[in-house]
């Protein structure tokens, strides 16, 4: 029963370790977690997915008592749990002009992408305590392109069901994303992901985006887990670089921001085509 309570608490409302959890939460019907409803004894059913598909997913992952290859999973968001919809070319063109107006030109600001341009500016401004200026000047542009993508995001097949299954099995499940908090929160609620993710580290929560490791390292510290106990799941070169900088194994799902050829010089530990393949990786 204690293990069930712990699983439910992480999925629906994170509770500090020194705060008691009411026992009735473990036996009552619970709110959605990716369309799933948990009931007494850890049984679950998925109101939105085919019952046979959900049964097959559950059958592949060992019971909580079985030793797993990983104790936790950190997900990227766009391109990983949902399709990739950021319009990179026009967004990055606008950002280059915006950075130039602030006096940031050449180097990474001429050849980098939306994340590496931000990080290069942060390298200069953070030591001076001037990050608020960067957020004020550039944040609205990033946010506008986030909300544009939000109008087209759709979840990958089986995403909500997988998140619910991982939490059912007592794994830590979190997210580190370069998307801003405004659009990200809206999407996580829309797709019923929010209840299963703790913590969620958005662009607004860090000084440096991926490919830097700040958000991933913050999540490891929050969970108090070693890097080799965790697997990062993403879709881009930035995800590989960020995970490697944190010492975390990384799986890349095809069909996201970067095509498979982009990883030739930085191959991930695992390359998958469907989210359901993670079950076997975690089982070891």
DSSP state for residue 255 in the 8-state scheme: T
DSSP state for residue 2 in the 8-state scheme: H
Q: Which residues of 117-130 are buried (b: 16+ CB within 10 A; e: fewer)?
A: bbbbbbeebeeeee
* Rounded CA separation 278/284 (Å): 10
pLDDT of 155 reads 98
Name residue 172's beta-bridge partners: 72
- Is 58 exposed, middle or buried, given 0-12, 13-18 or 19+ CB atoms closer than 10 A? middle
Give residues with Cβ within 8 angstroms of 66, minimum separation 6. none
pLDDT of 22 reads 37
Using a cut of 0.85, tell me whether the model's pTM lies above it.
no
- Rg of the chain on CA atoms, in Å: 19
The Cβ of residue 188 has, within 10 Å, a number of other Cβ atoms equal to 22
pLDDT of 24 reads 33
Contact 254, 228 (CB under 8 A): no
- Is 108 exposed, middle or buried, given 0-12, 13-18 or 19+ CB atoms closer than 10 A? middle
Domain spanning 2-84+156-283, CATH architecture: 3-Layer(aba) Sandwich (3.40)
pLDDT of 284 reads 77
Q: Where are the domains of the chain?
A: 2-84+156-283, 88-150
Phi-psi sector, 46: left (phi>0), alpha (psi -120 to 50), beta: beta
Helix (H) or strand (E) holding 233: strand 230-234
pLDDT of 1 reads 42
pLDDT of 46 reads 39
Give the pLDDT confidence of 241-283 residue by residue, as tens digits.
999 999 999 999 999 999 999 999 999 999 999 999 999 999 8
**From the first residue on, what is the mean pLDDT of each consecutive set of 10 residues in the chain (284 residues)?**
41 40 34 36 36 48 68 98 98 97 94 97 97 97 98 98 95 98 97 97 98 98 98 98 98 97 97 96 87
């Amino acid at each position: 029963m204690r293990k069930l309570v712990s699983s439910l608490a992480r999925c629906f409302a994170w509770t500090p370790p020194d705060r008691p959890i009411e026992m009735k939460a473990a036996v009552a019907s619970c709110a959605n977690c990716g369309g799933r409803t948990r009931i007494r004894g850890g049984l679950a059913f998925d109101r939105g997915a085919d019952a046979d598909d959900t049964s097959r997913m559950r059958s592949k992952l060992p019971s909580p008592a079985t030793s797993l290859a990983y104790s936790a999973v950190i997900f990227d968001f766009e391109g990983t749990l949902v399709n990739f919809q950021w319009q990179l070319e026009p967004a990055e063109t606008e950002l280059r002009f915006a950075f130039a107006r602030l006096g940031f030109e050449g180097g990474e600001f001429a050849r980098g992408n939306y994340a590496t341009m931000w990080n290069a500016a942060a390298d200069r401004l953070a030591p001076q305590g001037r990050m608020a200026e960067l957020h004020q000047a550039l944040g609205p542009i990033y946010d506008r392109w986030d909300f544009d993508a939000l109008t087209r995001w759709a979840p990958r097949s089986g995403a909500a069901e997988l998140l619910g299954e991982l939490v059912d099995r007592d794994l830590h499940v979190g997210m580190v994303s370069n998307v801003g908090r405004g659009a990200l929160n809206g999407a996580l609620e829309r797709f019923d992901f929010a209840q299963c993710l703790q913590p969620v580290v958005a662009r607004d929560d860090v000084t440096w985006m991926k490919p830097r490791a700040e958000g991933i390292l913050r999540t490891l510290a929050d969970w108090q887990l070693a890097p080799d106990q965790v697997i990062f799941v993403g879709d881009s070169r930035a995800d590989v670089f960020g995970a490697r900088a944190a010492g975390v194994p990384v799986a890349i799902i095809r069909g996201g921001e970067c095509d498979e050829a982009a990883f030739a010089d930085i191959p991930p530990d695992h390359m998958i085509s469907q989210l359901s393949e993670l079950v076997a990786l975690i089982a070891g």
